[in-house]
Structure 1
């Protein structure tokens, strides 16, 4: 049994998070989805999105996980869990860039210098 993980609310509107996973053809799949036995490395992806405002977390793909993170033979539930962890792990790492832009008036639209 998979250990439950609580999804954080949307960082923008506090709306409820939803999970979505799709196969390589765009068809929706679920946690227990079984791929054909002859499909050695199935390609699929998962992401969390906000039901209220539509904000999306990162799209987690099996191909990318294999190529860049050396994670192979993942089940749909594994990829969904990674998507939830990355949705929950949002932080203000780039806040210093935003603050620097604020001091220079770069966060305005339209900018006065254009």
Structure 2
């Protein structure tokens, strides 16, 4: 049984989140019940998106997870869970960058010429 995880609302519009996964090669939609072959030769990608405004979380795929994070042998449900976790944690992850830009007047458009 898959452990339930609650998805946070959209950080932009507070809209309802949705999750979708695809076979990374064929781009066919796959679902959490889809089982990997014994050789783990399929690659998957998943992301969360807002049903209301269309904002998307980061696209998480098995190839990048293996190459950069050394996470291997994942099922579709595993990739979907990681995508949801990244969606849930993104709200304030870069806040310090925003605050730093605020001090320098970088969050205004158009910017004043220097």
Tell whether the structures are fold-level matches, with TM greater than 0.5.
Answer: yes
Per the shorter chain, which TM-score range?
0.7 to 0.9
- Following superposition, the deviation at residue 9 of structure 1 comes to 0.6
The CA distance in 2 between the partners of 1:100 and 1:55, in whole Å, is 24
The CA distance in 2 between the partners of 1:3 and 1:102, in whole Å, is 40
Unpaired runs of 5+ in structure 2?
none
Q: SS at the partner of 2:113? A: coil
Q: Give the TM-score of the pair, scaled to structure 1.
A: 0.87
Deviations 1:47-103 (A, max 9, x none): 100000111111110001111122111110111111111111124243233223223
Q: Give the TM-score of the pair, scaled to structure 2.
A: 0.87
The ranges of structure 1 where at least 4 consecutive aligned residues each deviate by more than 4 angstroms after the TM superposition are none
Quick check: 103-112 or 10-19, which moved more? 103-112
Number of the residue aligned with 1:110? 110
Number of the residue aligned with 2:55? 55
Please report the RMSD computed on the Cα atoms of aligned residues, expressed in angstroms: 1.9
Q: SS at the partner of 1:105? A: coil
Number of the residue aligned with 1:8? 8
Unpaired runs of 5+ in structure 1?
none
Verify: 1:33 aligned to 2:45, yes or no. Answer: no
